[in-house]
């Protein structure tokens, strides 16, 4: 069966459009206020987020397998369907149980797109013989996504200022467009070892073999989990930190928009910077910058100290493209989406373990102390992991013997 190169080329700009539409989360700056306006206490809000994380974790691997075996196009379609359902429930819901169904739908939307979009893009480029350009192309996709999040933060704040339900109503037509865009995708051939008759256990068997026989993937997954979870934790500390620094709430939306602009530019030009720095320096610098960001925020607090958080945003954009490229080069197309679902699964596990610890430190001690502790932990763990990646035990042993 001959491939249609024209349709494969069209897939690239269509996926850019898909990522942009998915990024228009107008609710971001008002979601807590919305919950509270509907009578939810903070405990109930955190319960909803915990349930959402658990569902996402449980769904990661099955949805990744679905994307590999049934198709990435259908996975992206289901993301559009579940996202539309979630926003519709939010728009009309007014109680804890309505919002429970909303977060469940939203978690499934995230699980189906997780890994499927990057795998779809990589195999699309591979079919065109252009997989070498993945960092640049995926960097562009991430750029459009983050620009969308930045714009949505500003627009969402404006809409929420008039009515807290408006952001959810505004998202529905954009997510309906997700469905139409996904239906227009042309699925590149990616299935080699797997067929629709393979079970998820066969898929996981191939993944297990690949990971346990490939130290590079194993370390990259652990590396990614620590970086991603550390950045995710920082997100929930931004608002109390901005308040502590004395910045007016009026400017929160603009600050969050600037955060996403930094990530967007970092992602877009990551391929250029990575090629200049090289793999080892790139990986080491991400840990250094993340640790430094936490330490500076914990030590220096003034009205513009939010600029220290720019280091997190740079790391977020850069790492999402670069680490993705490193992992893609080590795996087979037949289990590409499943591998990335496992990556996301591990990321979420680390986040679930890390977030309560940080929250406890903030409650028992202070926010600056929690930031300092995170800076030290990320720095120490980073040194250990980078050392293990750069100088494996076997290589170290050989060096000792030669001495």
> How confident is the model over 328-361, as pLDDT tens digits?
777 766 666 667 777 777 887 888 778 778 877 8
Mean pLDDT throughout 115-129?
87
pLDDT at 308: 95
Instruction: Please give the mean pLDDT across all residues of the chain.
Output: 83
The owner of tokens 């502790």 is 373
**Are residues 291 and 375 in contact, defined by beta-carbon separation less than 8 angstroms?**
yes
Res. 380: pLDDT tops 60 = yes
Q: Does domain 203-403 have CATH number 1.20.1250.20?
A: yes
CB distance 270 to 135 below 8 Å? yes
Domain ranges of the chain: 1-186, 203-403
Dist. CA 51–CA 389, nearest whole Å = 34
Instruction: Tell the CATH topology of 1-186.
Output: Growth Hormone; Chain: A; (1.20.1250)
Taking the C-alpha atoms of residue 336 and residue 81, their distance in angstroms, rounded to an integer, is: 23
CA 54 – CA 348 distance, rounded (Å):
9
Intrachain domains 1-186 and 203-403 with the same fold: yes
* pTM of the predicted protein model: 0.68
Classified as helix, coil or strand, 176 is helix
What's the pLDDT at 267?
87
* Pairwise CA distance, residues 353 & 345, whole Å: 13
Residue 35 CA neighbour count, 13 Å, CB half: 21
């Amino acid at each position: 069966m001959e491939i249609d190169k024209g349709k494969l080329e069209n897939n690239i700009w269509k996926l850019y459009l898909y990522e942009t539409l998915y990024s228009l989360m107008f609710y971001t700056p008002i979601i807590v206020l919305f919950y509270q306006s509907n009578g939810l206490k903070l405990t109930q809000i955190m319960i909803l987020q915990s349930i959402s994380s658990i569902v996402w974790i449980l769904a990661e691997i099955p949805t990744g397998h679905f994307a590999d075996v049934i198709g990435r196009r259908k996975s992206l379609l289901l993301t559009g369907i579940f996202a539309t359902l979630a926003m519709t429930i939010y728009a009309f819901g007014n109680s804890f149980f309505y919002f429970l169904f909303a977060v469940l739908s939203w978690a499934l939307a995230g699980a189906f797109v997780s890994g499927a979009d990057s795998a779809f893009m990589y195999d699309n480029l591979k079919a065109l013989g252009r997989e070498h350009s993945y960092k640049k192309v995926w960097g562009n996709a991430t750029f459009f996504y983050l620009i969308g999040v930045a714009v949505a933060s500003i627009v969402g704040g404006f809409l929420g200022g008039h009515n807290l339900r408006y952001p959810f109503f505004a998202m529905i037509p954009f997510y309906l467009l997700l469905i139409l865009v996904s239906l227009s995708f042309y699925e590149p051939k990616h299935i080699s070892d797997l067929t629709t008759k393979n079970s998820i256990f066969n898929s996981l068997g191939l993944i297990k073999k690949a990971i346990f026989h490939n130290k590079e993937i194993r370390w990259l997954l652990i590396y990614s989990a620590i970086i991603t979870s550390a950045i995710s934790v920082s997100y929930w500390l931004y608002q109390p930190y901005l308040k502590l620094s004395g910045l007016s709430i009026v400017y929160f939306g603009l600050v969050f928009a600037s955060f996403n602009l930094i990530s967007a530019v970092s992602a877009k030009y990551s391929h250029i910077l990575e090629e200049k720095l090289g793999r080892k320096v790139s990986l080491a610098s991400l840990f250094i910058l993340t640790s430094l960001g936490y330490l500076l925020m914990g030590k220096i607090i003034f009205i513009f100290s939010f600029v220290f958080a720019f280091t997190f945003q740079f790391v977020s954009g850069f790492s999402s493209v670069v680490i993705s490229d490193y992992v893609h080069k080590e795996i087979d197309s037949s289990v590409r989406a499943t591998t990335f679902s496992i990556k996301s699964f591990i990321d979420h596990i680390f986040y679930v373990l890390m977030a309560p610890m940080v929250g406890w430190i903030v409650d028992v001690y202070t926010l600056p102390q929690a930031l300092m502790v995170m800076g030290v932990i990320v720095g120490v763990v980073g040194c250990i992991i980078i050392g293990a990646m750069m100088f494996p035990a076997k290589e170290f042993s050989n060096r000792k013997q030669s001495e």
